[in-house]
Chain A
C-alpha cells in the first residue's frame, strides 16, 4: 500500500490529539544547539545524532532522537526541516499521483475485457444526450424535445435532465479538440468516470487532510480510489451522473470546510460553484443542500456561531441557490419544495442571529438580551409555522415520494410501486456493506469516535455526515454511494491514528523518566525488583482509558505485531476490492459473458444483436414497446421511438405498458394500436438462465398496472392457489393468457424437441401445449433467446377478429357467420371500423 510510505520518519512525537498536526507549523529545530545531551535528560536540548546505548543485559538497543526522547528504532537525524518538508510534499505528490493511477486503472476491467462500450441503461441516455450536445450545440441541447421518447407524449429533454454530466463531457471533448486531439465522444463518455474517480481521490485527500493529517488524507484517497462502493458506479463506461457527482460532492464539502475554517467568502463562493455544478449534475445534490445547513444548525446549537460560519454559509447559500436555479430542471424548486426549506430556514436563522449578536454587542442590558433571545425563538417559530401553512396550502410542494421512502421503507411498496420496483431503491442487505466496503466498515465507527474526541467544527461535519449517510445507506442500496466517501475518510482517520501510534518511534516519556531514573545500569535483579514494585502499585488504566496524554507503545514486537496486522488488512482490502471490481462491477450488462466448460470466455451479445436488428430492419418511425428498463437502450442503440423509458416520469404511461403486458391479447391489442406500437420487445432469460428477464420483473408490471387499474389487473390472479409464482402447468389462466407470458414462451417448448421444456431461471417445466399468438407475429429472436421481438399485426383487412383469422388460417371453418345470423331481426347497427 502506497500510503504507508507516507509515514514520514521525522514524525518523532505522538501527535497531540487536540491539535492539528500540520507540518508547516512545526517549530524548526535550531541548528546551533547541537551539543550531545546526556541520555538521562529528557531535556529540551536537541542533538543532531541519535544515541545508541547498547543494553548490557543483551536486551533491545535503545535509540534517542535529537531531542533526547527514547526511540524504539533508529531514525535518520540531522536532516534539515526544509529537506524533510520537500521530501514530504514530493512523496505526497507522488503517492497521490499513484493513487489516481490506481483509481483509473482499477476501473478499466470492462474496457479491457469487453470493449469501450457504454454500460447498462441510464448511461445510454446520457450518451445520446451528449451526442446531441456535441453535434447540435448547446442551445439545441438546451431546447431539445425528443419526440421518440415516451411516445406519443414526447419528452422535453432539455428541461427534464441534469445537464451537468453532458456539459462536462462536452467541455472535455471541446478542450481535447482545441488541443488537436480529436477524440470520439464515446470514448470521452466511457473514460469520464475513471477520470473523475482520480479527481475524487484527490478531493478526498484534501478533505481528509482538513479533518485530520495529510497522511490520513492519503489513506482516505487510497481507500476511495478502490472502494467497491464507489467503483460500482464509476467503472469505465458507467457514464452516469454519479460518475462526476461524487467528485463534486467531496470537492464542495472540502471547500465548505475550508470556507468555514477561514471564514472567507471566496471559499464560500467556491463551495457555491461546486454546489451549482452538483445541482446541474445529479439529483442527489439535495444531500448537500441539507448537509451544510444541518452542519451550520448543529454548530449554532452548540453555541459555535461566529462570523466565519455566517460568512461561509451566507455566501454559499446566496450564490449557490441562485446558481442552482439556473438549471432548467431545478428552476424554482429551491424555494418551492420542502427538501430545500432547511437551507432557507438556516439562512434566515443565521441572519437573525447575526443581527441579534450585533445588536447585543451594541446594547447592553440583561433584560434586553432576554428579549432578543425570545425574539429569535419567536421568529423561528413563526417562520416555521408559515412554512407549514405554505406547505399545506400547496405553495410549497411536500417531499417527493422518493424522500418519503427514505423515512418509511414500506411507503414506496404500497404507494409507488414504480419506485419500489427499481432494484437500487431496495433496502440494503447487510452483507453488501461488507461487500462494498470490506474492512473500512469496521474502522468507520472508530474514525467517528476520533472525530468525537476532537470535535472541532469540521469533525462535527464528519459526524453528521456519518450518521445521516449511514441511515440512508441502510434504507436504499443506491445510497451506498453516499456513505462510501465518509466511510473512507473516517476509516482513514482511524487507520492513520493506529498507524501513527504504532509506527511512532518515540517511547512514552513518563516511562522514559522512570527507566532513566531508576534503572540506568540495567541488571536482571533490579529489573525483577522493579517489576515487583510495579505490581504492588495500585491498578490503573493505561492507554486511552488512563486519560493521560503520555500513552504510547513501548516494545518493538507490539509495534511489529500491530503494524503487520494492519498491513495485512490493507493487502486483503486491496485484494478484495480488485476481486469485487473485477467480478461484480465490471460487467457492461449490455454485453454478457459466460465461461465455457474449458474455461474460455463466451460473449453473449444478444442485446446489441437485437437492437441492431431493429435499427436495420424496421422503419425509422416504428414504435417499439418494451418494459421501461430497456427504453434508453432502444433509443440509444436501436434509434427507435419507445413508449416508456428509464426516466420514469409518467406513472400512468408505464402502467399502460404494464397493463398491455399483463393482460390478454384482447385487452392488450387496442392499447397497442392506440399507441401506434409496431414492435413489442421482451427479454427472456429462460433458455440461458439470465435471471434479469421480464418474467421475473413481471409482477412489478402487474403491480404498477394495478395501481392505476385496480379493477382490471389484480396481482392475486397471477399466483397459484398456493400462492406460488409459477410458469409451468400450475400457472393460472390469467398468467398463461397474459401477453408477457405468451411472448416469452412462444414456441419455447419446440426448442426441446419433445423433451420437457426447462426454464432455467425459474427451474420449471413449460407446458408442451403450443402458445397461440393472434395479434402478434414473431419478428426476431436473438441467438440465445434473450431478446424476442414481435410485430403487431394490423387490423384484419376484411374486418375479422384476429382470433378468427388465426383459426381460419389454421384450417378451421366457421359454422355460423360471426354476426350475420344474429343480426337478423335484432336492430343492431353496424359500427365504424377502426382505421
Chain B
C-alpha cells in the first residue's frame, strides 16, 4: 500500500538498534522544581539512563528551555516533576505542553498533594480532577509501619488494573507498591484516559488529621452526615492514570512523586503486621515509564493493502461482486534481551475490517495469515465479496484497546458497476425474447418475399389480361 512506510521500516529498526529502546526517541527533558532534590531519585534517573535515554534537567522557569525549535521537536519525552510550581516559562506552560503533545511528546507527570491551580486546570483538559490541596490518600489498615498512614502500601493484585500492554506479570505479582503522601484524582469519561493504579478498599482521602483505625470514625468522615463533601474512597480513588492521545502520544499521571524515590526503589519495608516485604515500586515505575515512553504497547501498521483475489496490485476501482482480499500487517515494538529495540509479530484475535460507505456494508474478521512472507510483523487477512452497490468505499480497520497504540487504517477504493461488455452475452432466461425477435424477423422477411413475388405475379397477370 505505502511503499514509503515499507522502506522506512528497516530504517526505523536500525535507528532503534543504535539509540534507546523507545519506539519514538530517547531525548528526555526532566523539569524539576527547586523543592525536589534530584539526588533523592538517583535510582530512577539511573534506570532511565540504563535504558538508553538522554536526560536533560531544567527548572520550570528556565528561559532557554525549548520543546521545539523551528518546528522540530527537541525532546521526545518529558518528565514533569514540578507539582507545586505556579508559573512556567513560556515553552513549558500547559498550552505549550499540550501543543507539544499534539506533536507527539510523551509526558510523565509526577505530582503531589500541593498541586498548584495552574496544573489542576491543565489536568482538567485531560478530564482528570484532583482532590483539594493538602488532601492525601490515607489508609489506616495498610501502610509502612515506620511511617504514617499517608505512606500507603498498595497490594498489586487488588490495586493495579491488569493491563498486559502496560504492566508486566512480574509487577502484577510483585511486592506491594508504596504510595507515600500522594494525591488522589478521579478519571473522567474521556475515552483516551484509563486508570493504572487505584487505591485499595480500605483507603480514603483525608486531611492532615489522620484517622485511627476505628472503622466507625472513618465511616463518619467518609459517608456520614458530618462530612463536608463527598470524599473519594476505596477503589474509586485513582492514583496513577494513563492517557494516550488520538495520535498515540502518551502521558502518565502519578499522584505521588515520592513513589519513585530511592527510599522505596527496590528496598524493603515493614508492613503493619511486621512483615518485611520488598516494594514493587521499581518494577511498577519501570513498567509504567516503559509504556509512557513508547517502549511497550506500541503497535504499528507495517502495510495495508487490498487487491482483487489472485492479483497483487491494489486497484482504485473494483467491480461489484468482486472477490476482494485485504491484508493488514501489524508489528509490535519490543525490547530484545540484549537491550535493543525491534519490531516483532503481534497476535491479536479480535481484529476486524469494515468495508464502509457511510455505514459499514461488510464487517468481517481479520484472520492471521500464517502463509505470509512478511519480514516484520504479522499479517492479517480478510477475503470478501464486494457489495452489490457502487460507491466510494473505505477499508477501515480501527483497533482501540486501552494501553495499545490505536490502530487506525483507512484506504479508499471505489466499487463500480459492470462495464458494458462485462455482462453475459446470452442469457438462458432470455430465450423467449430471442425466439420472438428471430421469428418476427423471419416472418417479416418471408412476408416481404411473398409480397414482392405475388405482387409481380399480379401485375403480370393484369398485363397479360390487358394484352389479351
Contacts and interface: CB of A to CB of B under 8 A. Distances in A.
A, B assembled together: yes
Interface of A: 139, 142-143, 145, 147, 151-154, 156, 159, 328, 621, 641, 674-675, 794-800, 804, 808-809, 813-814, 816-825, 828, 830-833, 835
B401 to A, nearest CB: 11
B65 to A, nearest CB: 22
Given A143-B419, A675-B358, A830-B190, A818 B127 contact: yes
A835 B98 contact: no
A151 B232 CA distance: 50
B328 to A, nearest CB: 15
Contacts of B126: 798-799
Contacts of B392: 147, 151-154, 641
B102 interface: yes
Question: Top 3 nearest A-B pairs by Cβ distance?
Answer: A820-B188, A820-B129, A819-B188
B187 interface: yes
B86 interface: no
Interface stretch (B212-220, B242-250, B258-266): B242-250
A156 B358 contact: no
Contacts of B390: 145, 154, 156
12 contacts: A142-B420, A145-B390, A145-B414, A621-B412, A796-B246, A797-B246, A798-B243, A817-B128, A818-B127, A820-B186, A823-B186, A835-B400
Interface string B161-176: 0000000000000000
A819 B127 contact: yes
B188 A833 contact: no
B101 A798 contact: yes
B98 A798 contact: yes
Contacts of B420: 139, 142-143, 328
Given A819-B190, A833-B191, A835-B400, A145 B128 contact: no
A818 B408 contact: no
Mostly, the B contact residues are mixed
Contacts of A825: 230, 236
Nearest to B416: A145
Given A143-B419, A154-B414, A818 B188 contact: yes
B246 A813 contact: no
B393 interface: yes
Contacts of B129: 816-817, 820-821
A822 B156 CA distance: 27
Interface centre among A152, A675, A816, A822 (most CB of B within 10 A): A152
A81 to B, nearest CB: 39
A797 B186 contact: no
A577 B160 CA distance: 87
Contacts of B317: 145, 147
Contacts of A152: 357-358, 391-394
A160 to B, nearest CB: 11
A824 B391 contact: no
Contacts of A147: 317, 392, 414
B377 to A, nearest CB: 21
B249 A797 contact: yes
Contact of B246 (A142, A809, A823, A833): A833
A229 to B, nearest CB: 38
B204 interface: no
Contacts of B388: none
B124 interface: yes
B398 interface: yes
Nearest to A149: B392
Contact of B186 (A156, A804, A824): A824
A817 B125 CA distance: 7
Contacts of A818: 124, 127, 188-190
Interface in B384-400: 390-394, 398, 400
Contacts of B357: 152-153
A65 B193 CA distance: 109
Interface in B120-139: 121, 123-129
B404 interface: no
B412 A830 contact: no
Given A153-B357, A153-B392, A821 B186 contact: yes
Contacts of A795: 246
B75 to A, nearest CB: 18
A345 B190 CA distance: 68
B400 A832 contact: yes
Interface centre among B101, B129, B393, B416 (most CB of A within 10 A): B129
Contact of A813 (B121, B186, B194): B121
Contacts of A674: 358
Given A142-B420, A798-B245, A830-B191, A154 B391 contact: yes
A769 B192 CA distance: 35
B391 A799 contact: no
Contacts of B288: none
Contact of B417 (A153, A156, A798): A156
Contacts of A799: 126-127, 190-193, 245-246
B406 interface: yes
Contacts of B192: 798-799, 833
Contacts of A797: 101-102, 245-247, 249
Contacts of B236: 824-825
Interface in B221-251: 230, 232, 236, 243, 245-247, 249
Contacts of B102: 797
Contacts of A154: 390-392, 414, 416
B400 A798 contact: no
Contacts of B308: none
Nearest to A142: B420
B78 to A, nearest CB: 15
Nearest to A328: B420
Interface in B82-112: 95, 98, 101-102
A824 B130 CA distance: 12
A143 B414 CA distance: 14
B246 to A, nearest CB: 4
Nearest to B396: A835
A820 B190 CA distance: 9
Contact of A816 (B98, B124, B190, B391): B124
B381 interface: no
B242 to A, nearest CB: 13
B189 A828 contact: yes
A666 to B, nearest CB: 17
A835 B185 contact: no
A827 to B, nearest CB: 11
Contacts of A804: 125
A820 B232 contact: no
Contacts of B187: 820, 823
B34 to A, nearest CB: 25
A147 B188 CA distance: 41
Contact of A833 (B98, B186, B232, B400): B400
B127 A817 contact: yes
A350 B375 CA distance: 77
Given A814-B121, A814-B125, A818-B189, 10 more contacts: A143-B420, A152-B357, A156-B390, A795-B246, A796-B246, A813-B124, A820-B186, A821-B186, A821-B188, A835-B398
A145 B414 CA distance: 9
Contacts of B394: 152
A328 B417 CA distance: 13
B358 A817 contact: no
A74 B191 CA distance: 102
A831 B391 contact: no
Contacts of B247: 797
A817 B98 contact: no
A142 B421 CA distance: 11
Interface centre among B126, B190, B232, B249 (most CB of A within 10 A): B190
Nearest to B246: A797
Contacts of B186: 817, 820-821, 823-824
A812 B101 CA distance: 20
A104 B245 CA distance: 64
Given A147-B414, A814-B125, A817-B124, A832 B191 contact: yes
